[in-house]
Amino acid sequence: MDDVARLAGVSLKTVSRVVNGEAGVAQGTTERVHTALASVNFRRNDIARSLKRTLTTSSIGLVTKDLANPFYATLARAVGEVARRHGFLVLSASSDENQEREREILTAFLGRRVDGLIVVPTSGSQEFLAREQAAGVQLVFVDRPAMGVAADTVLIDNAAGVLTGVRHLAAHGHRRVGYLGDAPDIFTAVERVRGFRQAVASLALDVDPALVRQGLHDSAGAQEQAASMLAGANPPTALFASNNVITVGALRALRQRRGQALALVGFDDFDLADLIDPPVTVIAVDAAALGRRAAERLFARLAGNTASPQTEVLATRLIVRGSGEVRA
């Protein structure tokens, strides 16, 4: 508290009022105090957390990239089902791929003394959680590994999934395959583009930098980049979309090319994919299994498992529906 007051240039009483959410503190002063609090990683119960936890709140925290995304919604539902069987409540929130937001959410959950955390980590460091882990908070990371802290992790085999999808396109005669990817600093995106490049090399497909577009955060961006790629002088005959949101954008771009057949395979299944004409061939990930395994690992830790941190990798599977079987 003294350090926070000194850094913010205010009294201890003012710091206390801000920490406890009391009214009557000027906005500028409140912001300075919050900045100081963040700089020393302060929370009201830090002193209590320095002691080994012996009590339980029967609650866990879940942080994903975007709970509105069907993939993460399914994952969250599976976590909730496992937690319910153990009599636990799940607090859930979305980081929106923002490291600062992630830290705010985790700090809030820890302030409520959750017994454990399941986190889809952002591309930043989660090292600040090491102290909480040492104090008894159990951690499991899912979909991506953490940075700066060792804990159980449940992943999917991203590179192998992409390799399977591109191999499927090549089997139907496609030599020029366009790739639409997410932000290149995200673990899953890094692994998936690695799988694509491995496929291109192993299958002797056309190597062309113009066929790889990354940094696509939403369907609108994916649609724009897919349309741009297809409008080029030597366009691809097939597309690989690296997640369900990007697949939707690719479908919108293809819709503008009526009468021009083009193959498409997407990573991640999504609702109504089987009802589109043609139905969308996908590399499917069992999001429910991903969430379930992460939750089971967390509750094993809460039950006293003290083994070294383990990483579990779940396989993907190809679902053939029609869009990926268009011949070159």
* Confidence (pLDDT) at 251: 96
| pLDDT higher than threshold 90 for residue 33 | no
Contact between 222 and 268 (Cβ < 8 Å): no
> Which amino acid type is present at position 177?
V
Q: How far apart are CA 110 and CA 132, in angstroms?
A: 8
Local confidence band at 46 (pLDDT 50, 70, 90 cut-offs): very low
225-266 pLDDT tens trace: 999 999 999 999 999 999 999 999 999 999 988 667 799 999
| pLDDT higher than threshold 90 for residue 193 | yes
Give the fold, CATH level 3, of 55-155+289-314. Rossmann fold (3.40.50)
* Confidence (pLDDT) at 22: 66
Q: How far apart are CA 129 and CA 116, in angstroms?
A: 11
* Confidence (pLDDT) at 322: 96
| pLDDT higher than threshold 80 for residue 16 | no
11, exposed or middle or buried, with CB in 10 Å at 0-12, 13-18, 19+? Answer: exposed
Q: How far apart are CA 140 and CA 204, in angstroms?
A: 39
| pLDDT higher than threshold 90 for residue 29 | no
Share of the chain above pLDDT 90, in %: 75
Q: Assign residue 201 a region: left if phi > 0, alpha if psi is -120 to 50, beta otherwise? A: alpha
Q: What is the mean pLDDT of residues 267-278?
A: 92
| pLDDT higher than threshold 90 for residue 326 | yes
* Confidence (pLDDT) at 38: 75
| pLDDT higher than threshold 80 for residue 316 | yes
* Confidence (pLDDT) at 317: 97
* Confidence (pLDDT) at 212: 98
Q: What is the torsional sign of CA 125, 130, 131, 135? A: positive
Least confident window among 1-15, 73-87, 141-155, 186-200 = 1-15
Local confidence band at 41 (pLDDT 50, 70, 90 cut-offs): low
* Confidence (pLDDT) at 26: 83
Share of the chain above pLDDT 70, in %: 92
| pLDDT higher than threshold 60 for residue 124 | yes
List residues bridging with 266 in a β-sheet: 241, 282
Contacts of 50 (CB under 8 A, 6+ apart): 135
* Confidence (pLDDT) at 31: 79
* Confidence (pLDDT) at 48: 44
* Confidence (pLDDT) at 314: 98
| pLDDT higher than threshold 90 for residue 6 | no
| Residue bearing the bigger pLDDT, 146 or 56 | 146
For 307, the 3-state DSSP assignment is: coil
| pLDDT higher than threshold 80 for residue 73 | yes
| CATH 3.40.50.2300 is right for the domain spanning 158-286+317-325 | yes
14-33 burial: b if 16+ Cβ within 10 Å, else e: bbebbbeeeeebeeebbebb
* Confidence (pLDDT) at 15: 74
Residue extents of the structural domains in the chain: 1-42, 55-155+289-314, 158-286+317-325
Nearest CA to 158 among 225, 103, 240, 228?
Answer: 240
**Mean of per-residue pLDDT scores for the chain:** 90
